[in-house]
Amino acid sequence: TIRQAEINLNKQIRALEQRKKNYELQKAKALANIRDKKRLRDEGQELVNTLQHFLSQFTITAPSAGMVIYKEEFNGSKRKSGSTVNPFDRVIATLPDLTSMISTTYVSEIEVNKVKPGQKVNITIDAIPGKTFTGTVTEVANIGEQLGNSESKMFEVIIKLNGNNPELRPAMTTSNKIIINTFDDVVSIPVECVHADADGVPFVYKKNRTKQIVVLGEMNDKHIIIKEGVEPGCNVFVITPEDGSKFRLVGKELIAKSE
């Protein structure tokens, strides 16, 4: 009947309205869910960007081409991939400046007062035989230290090498000859040639079988200057001759000068 049809129509209309409401509700939930997903996506992307930025900081690029020296651990090993870095000692490697090389040596407390900044140095390298490099003393330590089997205190001396030497590498072993003073036109002989009598008067044994009293000058670990008593070209004994006691003593007038 018409009445029944109207009732059914109204029922269908209400059902449709309910479905529309349900649809809008589901749509709103879906949109909210999408917004949440987008937010999580954006947060995740931001985290990825942050981590990628941090990751890029782990790649260290040298300012120029050269050599890398990895930090040495306390046990003597080098730091490498997988090594633990202490926050109080964050050095992993160093980039030595090969255009400015220094040599470190030590001078005994007996000789240290003779060494001054600015003095010239001749340097030889064990790994580069036959070649001599030059340098200049730049620093002399104020405080000595005990090294190895040395009985006296040793003072550190820093020497800067002159010029750019591509053959040199860090940690090479050097021999350093510091030029304390230079002398022209002097007579010098090996220090082993000089002897002393019971009173400390210095003399040399000459090939002419005389014990010549001499006046000494400056010396280093190998040679000593003879101010008087020995002429250029004179032959002297390096060690005491077997019959040295029979040699005639000459040059007594130099005793006063030799004291």
Q: What is the CATH number of domain 102-178?
A: 2.40.30.170
Please say if the pLDDT value at position 258 is more than 80: no
The CATH architecture assigned to 187-258 reads Beta Barrel (2.40)
- SS in 3 state form for the chain? CHHHHHHHHHHHHHHHHHHHHHHHHHHHHHHHHHHHHHHHHHHHHHHHHHHHHHHHHCCCCCCCCCCCEECECCCCCECCCCCCCECCECCCEECCCCCCCEEEEEEECCCHHHCCCCCEEEEEECCEEEEEEEEEEEEECCCCECCCCCCCCEEEEEEEECCCCCCCCCCCCEEEEECCCCCCCCEEEEHHHCEECCCCCEEEEECCCEEEECEEEEECCCEEEEEECCCCCCCECCCCCCCHHHCEEECHHHHHHHC
Query: Is residue 141 very low, low, confident or very high in pLDDT (cuts 50, 70, 90)?
Result: very high
Task: Give the pLDDT confidence score for residue 35 in this predicted structure.
Answer: 95
Task: Give the pLDDT confidence score for residue 17 in this predicted structure.
Answer: 92
pTM above 0.85, yes or no: no
Per-residue pLDDT averaged across 55-61, rounded?
82
Please say if the pLDDT value at position 36 is more than 90: yes
Query: Is residue 186 very low, low, confident or very high in pLDDT (cuts 50, 70, 90)?
Result: very high
Per-residue pLDDT averaged across 180-186, rounded?
91
